Amino acid sequence: MKSENTPFRGGPLDGRVLPILLGPTGHPPKWYEVPVPSPDGGPATVYAYQRVPAGYTKRLGLQRGWVYEYAPGGREHRTLKWPWSKPPRRD
């Protein structure tokens, strides 16, 4: 598997660069979760990072790579929207 050194912004991993495994499309995962064990043996704290573009070139506007930004609210939950399902009713 290929990996890419990806920088992190914000949160406990601010300023660190870690090797992240790339998927079959050549991109790192959209979300990266870091479990941190608690010192008293309780449940682990999970820090979530979201993948965002690192920037764009001036001349052609090409993307320069990826950066993970800290998401204090955690990972966003998405629901599937099937084309044959009805939209929710508004009262």
In this prediction the pTM is: 0.76
- Dist. CA 12–CA 60, nearest whole Å: 34
What does the pLDDT look like over 52-82, one tens digit per residue? 999 999 999 998 999 999 999 888 777 777 8
Structural domain boundaries in the chain: 3-71
- Dist. CA 51–CA 8, nearest whole Å: 9
The pLDDT of residue 28: 94
